[in-house]
Amino acid sequence: MLDVERLPAPNIMHDESVGPRRVVCVVDHLGRDRHVADDASRHVFTHCALTLDLSDCVDWSANQCDDEEWRIEWVKMYEGLNLAHAFAMTGDARYLNTWQDLVHRFCDQVPVGQDSSDVSARRVQNWIYAWCRFADAPAFRGLRPGLAQRLLERISLDADHIRHHLTAERNHRTLELYALFIVALALPHTDPCGELAQSSLTELGANLQIDVWPDGVHRECSTDYHHIVLRSFVGVVANSSRFGLVLPNGFRERLHRACDFALHVQRPDGTTPSLSDGDVGAFSELLTMAGDVLDRPDLTWAGSSGRHGIAPQRLDATFSTGGYVTQRSGWGASNTPYADERFLVLDCGPLGDGGHGHYDQLSVEMAGAGGSIAVDPGRFTYAEEPAGWRRWFKGTAAHNTVTVDGLDQMPYRRGKPKGPMPSARLVSRDTTESLDLIVAQASSPQYAALHTRRIAFVGRDYWIVHDHLRDIDEHLYEARWHLPPEVSDLRILQNDSAVLVCTSVATFAVPDGLGNVSIEDGWVSPQYGVKSAAPVITVRTRAARADLVTVVVPGTQAVTVRADVDPQTGILTAHVTRGSNEHHDDRIVWSPIQSLLRIDHVQARCRALWQRSDRAQVDRDPSWVVVE
């Protein structure tokens, strides 16, 4: 814990000409929207997908709508960066005057400590960033008389309050410590001896070690919050370098691991999935900055979608503590464009610390052929309202996994879970040149059925997902595939061996006897407060022991699938043909006991099943069984 006695109270120098020193702004690429600046100059503000006209009265102390998140975002004053950018581009004084008016009113209306420490911390950062951007504008001649001094005093008082009311743990603490670090660097008048800068840097080092697990995943297990926190830690390195500060021991090593997770969880379109209480993120600039400050050309490659840097060597990654597993066909370094590569991420870990975890164990996201195939629907809202949207988006049925009797994997709570928790684990992962096979398992306190999910990434081209469900009692098992809202050309076809759901980006094939297929209504929320109708493919059966199989093939090529599961041994045999070319004819066999038997790409007239029944024996003396 931070020893507040070591953090000196700010000592303000009374100098009207003083302004902030330039710090590295980790969100410098944001806040450049002229429309946002024009709206703000009319006192029109948009947050959480809701636009409010406050031209009659800007009251910073009041909650302007039912969703408290709206005011939380509003009082962070993100508009300042947009106003400063518009002023720099045009020299129009109304943008500067608007920001000065808003800051002045806030200082008048909101006492220090009214907002939570993390909200105050974000606002303080945004004030400093905007002030720096205004100061760099050609037309800037200084703030109006008295405002610079008042702003310095208010920032110092906010910083003093933050340091005495630090959140105990997780992402709020990171944001608060980083705000103190920025205040100390940008406004040395508040930290004349450098004690605040050094103490906050030391505590940020401890926070990184505690909150980012050794595998690199942030303890809340949310992809969005991971990147928000990562942004602060990358900013620590950038600003420490600028001001000649020494990083705490182990800081770079743990940060490298956190960047590894950010690298591997990025979709081929350059965005990041919204797993567990997040939005679909665009963190390319963060990866690029991390590549620069950490000398990581692989991060630069991902941040630039393959235009700069060096392609990462690893295609697949396993994050054992956080429970995320990824598969990827490539990084756009060969014949396939970066955006067209195949990508999958599986969640087979804990719900995560705090209240952000969704009930989504063994859920996946998929992308390929230039688009999203199956998506995590996001969060939509934190508000507990009569329509129940918070519960729907957090629930198991809102994710690409299996529900049992329509139940969530644990009883719903808006925030932090209580009571017995569901569990998930990675059982095994086996990789050959032709096949990457992941086996994961989940159980729930809500029911006795055990769910084992096997994902075969065949030829780094398509997937076979086998959901193996076992209990002594009968249940309704339902595997869902949430499609993106923009999906088009949705068709259901029935042939003699499978039901095919064809879309504009992929085909979902369910072999006969391995699940009944229907299309249902669903929702996807790429950003907080926004939800769009989107179709959901549901594969269901009612039994005690069941096997649901879905073959997912990116692209629009014709697909033929035949498959069966031996009810006694659980061995699955699948035959998948893509298009009319027999070079794209595959047979895959695997067992619930032996993790990998093998795949063969059938060529010309030879159809061969290379079967491996004892991996250790085969490694010593390979023996292949050829089936004509």
The residue to which tokens 């400093």 are assigned:
128
The residue ranking higher by pLDDT, 259 or 628, is 259
- Among 118-127, 487-496, 618-627, whose mean pLDDT is lowest? 618-627
Q: How far, in Å, CA of 1 to CA of 322, rounded?
A: 24
Mean pLDDT value of segment 577-587: 76
How crowded is the C-beta side of 193, counted as CA atoms within 13 Å? 8
**∠195-197-203 over CA atoms, to 5°?**
100
In degrees and rounded to multiples of 5, residue 406 shows phi and psi of 75, 10
- In single-letter form, the type of residue at position 13 comes to M
Task: Select from 233, 220, 222 the least CA-distant residue to 528.
Answer: 222
d(CA 256, CA 221): 17
Q: What is the pLDDT of residue 280?
A: 94
CA-based max dimension of the chain = 89
How many angstroms separate the CA atoms of 412 and 280, rounded? Answer: 23
Q: Is a pLDDT exceeding 70 seen at residue 4?
A: no
H helices of 33-116, in order, are 34-41, 68-74, 79-90, 93-109
Query: Taking a C-beta distance cutoff of 8 angstroms, is the pair 505, 487 a contact?
Result: yes
pLDDT category at 602 given cuts 50, 70, 90 is very low
pTM of the model: 0.91
Minimum mean pLDDT among 347-351, 427-431, 435-439, 608-612: which range?
A: 608-612
Give dist(CA 266, CA 253) in Å, integer. 21
Q: Tell me the per-residue pLDDT of 203-217, one tens digit each, with 9 for 90 and over.
A: 999 999 999 999 999
Average pLDDT over residues 8-23: 59
**How far separated are the first and last CA of the chain, in Å rounded?**
68
Contact 360, 347 (CB under 8 A): yes
Strands (DSSP E) along 24-78, which ranges?
A: 44-47, 50-53
pLDDT band, very low/low/confident/very high, at 201 (cuts 50, 70, 90)? very high
Query: Does residue 598 register a pLDDT over 50?
Result: no
Are residues 240 and 295 in contact, defined by beta-carbon separation less than 8 angstroms? no
Pairing outcome for strands 559-565 and 423-431: unpaired
Q: 56-99 pLDDT, tens per residue? A: 889 999 888 888 899 999 999 999 999 999 999 999 999 999 99
- Over residues 337-348, the mean pLDDT reads 98
- Sign of torsion over alpha carbons 65, 68, 74, 78: negative
- Read off the tokens for 585: 């004819």
Burial category of 310 from C-beta neighbours within 10 Å (exposed 0-12, middle 13-18, buried 19 and up): middle
Q: Which residues contact 356 (CB under 8 A, 6 or more apart)?
A: 220, 221, 222, 225, 276, 277, 278
pLDDT at 617 over 50: no
d(CA 346, CA 442): 12
The count of other CB atoms within 10 Å of the CB of residue 2 is 20
pLDDT band at 18 (very low <50, low <70, confident <90, very high): low
Write the pLDDT tens digit of every residue in 26-56.
Answer: 999 999 999 999 999 999 999 999 999 999 8
Tell me: pLDDT of 6 over 70. Answer: no
Confidence of residue 10 (pLDDT cuts 50, 70, 90): very low
**How would you label 503-525 residue by residue, b for 16+ Cβ within 10 Å and e otherwise?**
bbbbbbbbbeebbebeeeebbbb
pLDDT value for 568: 83
* pLDDT confidence bin for 539, thresholds 50/70/90: very high
388-441 confidence digits (pLDDT tens): 999 999 999 999 999 999 999 999 988 788 889 999 999 999 998 888 999 999
Question: What's the rounded Cα separation, in Å, for the pair 189 and 125?
Answer: 16
CB-count burial class (<10 Å; 0-12, 13-18, 19+) for 384:
exposed
Which burial class, exposed, middle or buried, applies to 614 when counting CB atoms under 10 A from its CB (0-12, 13-18, 19+)?
exposed
Distances (CA, A) of 494 to 464, 508, 562, 584, 587: 19, 12, 12, 21, 21
Q: What's residue 582's pLDDT?
A: 57
Looking at the predicted structure, is the pLDDT value of residue 103 above 50?
yes
Pairing mode, if any, of strands 423-431 and 343-347? unpaired
**What strand order describes the sheet that includes 585-590?**
559-565, 572-578, 585-590, 598-602
pLDDT score for 603: 33
Each residue of 478-516: pLDDT tens digit? 999 999 999 988 999 999 999 999 999 999 999 999 999
pLDDT band of 570, cuts 50, 70, 90: confident
Q: What is the dihedral of CA 590, 591, 592, 594, to 10 degrees?
A: -100
Greater model confidence, 52 or 603:
52
**Is-contact 478 403, C-beta < 8 A?**
yes
What pLDDT score was predicted for residue 107?
Answer: 97
The pLDDT tens digits of the residues spanning 221-233 come to 999 999 999 999 9
User: How high is the pLDDT of residue 581?
Assistant: 60
Using DSSP, state whether 348 is helix, strand or coil: coil
Handedness of CA 175, 177, 179, 185 (dihedral sign): negative
Helix or strand or coil: residue 398? helix
